[in-house]
Structures are given as structure tokens and as C-alpha cells.
Amino acid sequence: MKYLLSMLAVCAGIAAEPPRIDAGFAWSMAEWAVAAGPRHSGSEGALRSALWMERELKRYLRFSTRVVEFTEKTPAGQVTFRNLVAEIPGRSAKFAVVGAHYDTKYLPEAAPEFAGANDGGSGVAALLAMIRAIDRMKEPPPLGIRFVFFDGEECRVRYGCGDGLHGSRREAQLLEEAGRLRDCRAMILLDMVGDRELSITFPKNSDPELRQLALEEAEKQGKRSRFTDYPGNILDDDLPFQARGIPALNFIDFSYGPDNGWWHTSADTLDKLSPQSLKTVADVALALIWRLGGEPAH
């Protein structure tokens, strides 16, 4: 009966219930992400991470996957970057971009073995768990979803045109060149989403209507207390999409440790994370995507 109702909903154009992720699987993906070690852009660790994610993504046959490799000049010289893309069509021609960065901050003196469990690993884990949950559904999502694992989010010296946000700038540029901006309903970013003391802090420069929809979905799931606002703007991978008129929402826990003190330090380790936090954010993000398939964001 449940399957019949689901098929009737699809035929009637009604968005079926969004999937929920497996917290244990998400945690295993976080462990794999951190096992790659330091993975600043252009490093052997970054290449190991990209190859691992490429193998993982190929498991999901309903998704088309590709690696977008490009080279750009940085303060460290010419660096090769690799974005990984996994895309599934929906019942609408519209689509959403869901992104997370996998590179880690280069901290050769302060933390040479920095492997970014939360800042780099958690977003990757959440996205892979979301992809797996969608792949197991019988019906297509209400709109297309393009998952992108960004390389080069972290800057070497100072954020600018040639330093930081390399992968997200390239993806946004490719969307523009392909004439797909008008079809993109939203850009949803997951960055630092695994903190065991989870407090997602929506930046001030996030889209207010997407923020409201996300809060409504968090309320439905009994997780509203885990979501709050950040008093200022945050420079992150959503900005290149915002600059092209795409509404964006950044799920980021910028209260990671006392006074955000574990961010970009050797304290950013797996023991600070929890499977339930990954599930909380991923499930709300999936519900938001399904909501976008049923009503406009603006």
C-alpha cells in the first residue's frame, strides 16, 4: 500500500516524502574522508581523496558522475584542482546545487597533520550519505540535484580572485556558460556540519526565504534547537552562486568549540563529531530540496 501511494503521488505530481540518511553510513564516510590525511589543494592527499570519492560515487548507478579538473594560478603557483560532480535528474527541469568542499586548510607550522574532520570531512560525509539515500529511492526527486564536491575552498594567504573558492567559482562559471542559471532553484552548502554539540549558524548573507524553509523543516523533524543565526556574513563556497543571482543557504556550524576555537586547529578531529549531527543536517537539507520541488523559493 505504501508503494502504491508513493507511485500515485508521483503520477499526480505530488512530491513524495524526502529520504532520510543512514547515520552510521555517514559516519563511515567521515572516517574515510579523514583517513586521506592533509588534503590541501594540489597535494597527494587531495588526489587520494578525489580518487576515493570518484570510486564511491560510481556505486550509485542512478547518478551521472564526472571529475572536472582544471589548473589555476595561486599564491603557491600553478595548482591542479578537481571538482567531483554527481547528478540525478528530477521530475522537473529545474535543479538544485548541493555542495561541500573536501580540501583542508594548509597549516604547515601550526598543524602540519591537519585533516579537517569537521572542516572538510563532515560535508563530504553528509553529501555521500544523501546521494546514497536518494539512489535507493524508487521514484525520482521532485527536481534535479547536482551534488558538487569542491576543491580549493581554502585560501593559502587571503581570499581573492586567485586565492580560495576555486572549485565553486569554476562550477558557477560553468553553469553560466551552459545557460543553466535560470534553471537553478538554489545552492545549498554544507560546511562544518558534524559537531557533536551541533549549532548550525546560518550566515547573515544567506537567502532569507531558504533559511525560513529550512527552519520549518527542522521544526517538523524536532531539530529546531540545533539551528540559529550567525550575526555577520561568512565568505564561503556559496558566494560565486549568489553573485550570479542564485539563492543560497549555507549550513555551517561556526561555533565549533569554545569561541569557535577548534576551527583550523589540530583539535578538529573525529572525536569532536557525531553521526547524529551529520544526520540532522543532511535530513533537513534533503527536506528543503523536496520542499523546493513543490513551491518557489521566492
Where residue 236 falls among pLDDT bands split at 50, 70, 90? very high
Which cell goes with 58? 560510481
Which cell goes with 116? 579537517
Which cell goes with 45? 592527499
**Full domain range(s) for residue 48:** 33-292
Average pLDDT over the chain, rounded to an integer: 94
Instruction: Count structural domains, the chain.
Output: 1
Can you give the pLDDT at residue 1? 42
The stretch 88-108 carries a mean pLDDT of 97
Task: Specify if 268 maps to a domain.
Answer: yes
The stretch 135-156 carries a mean pLDDT of 97
Please name the amino acid found at residue 248.
A
Of 296 and 39, which is predicted with more confidence?
A: 39
For the segment 3-31, what is each residue's pLDDT rounded down to a tens digit? 444 444 444 444 479 999 999 999 999 99
Task: Specify if 28 maps to a domain.
Answer: no
- Pick the closest to residue 193 from 98, 114, 90, 120 (CA basis): 120
Task: Specify if 26 maps to a domain.
Answer: no
Can you give the pLDDT at residue 2? 41
CATH number where 69 lies: 3.40.630.10
Where residue 294 falls among pLDDT bands split at 50, 70, 90? confident
218, 284 Cβ separation under 8 angstroms: yes
For the segment 30-80, what is each residue's pLDDT rounded down to a tens digit? 999 999 999 999 999 999 999 999 999 999 999 999 999 999 999 999 999
Task: Specify if 259 maps to a domain.
Answer: yes
Task: Specify if 18 maps to a domain.
Answer: no
Task: Specify if 3 maps to a domain.
Answer: no
Adjacent-strand bridge partners of 186? 96
For the segment 111-122, what is each residue's pLDDT rounded down to a tens digit? 999 999 999 999
Can you give the pLDDT at residue 80? 98
Residue 276 clears pLDDT 60, i.e. is over it = yes
Which cell goes with 275? 553521526
Task: Specify if 51 maps to a domain.
Answer: yes
234, 250 Cβ separation under 8 angstroms: yes
Residue 171 clears pLDDT 50, i.e. is over it = yes
Of 4 and 104, which is predicted with more confidence?
A: 104
- Pick the closest to residue 151 from 162, 130, 165 (CA basis): 165
What sign results for the dihedral spanned by CA atoms 157, 117, 134, 229? Answer: negative
Task: Specify if 147 maps to a domain.
Answer: yes
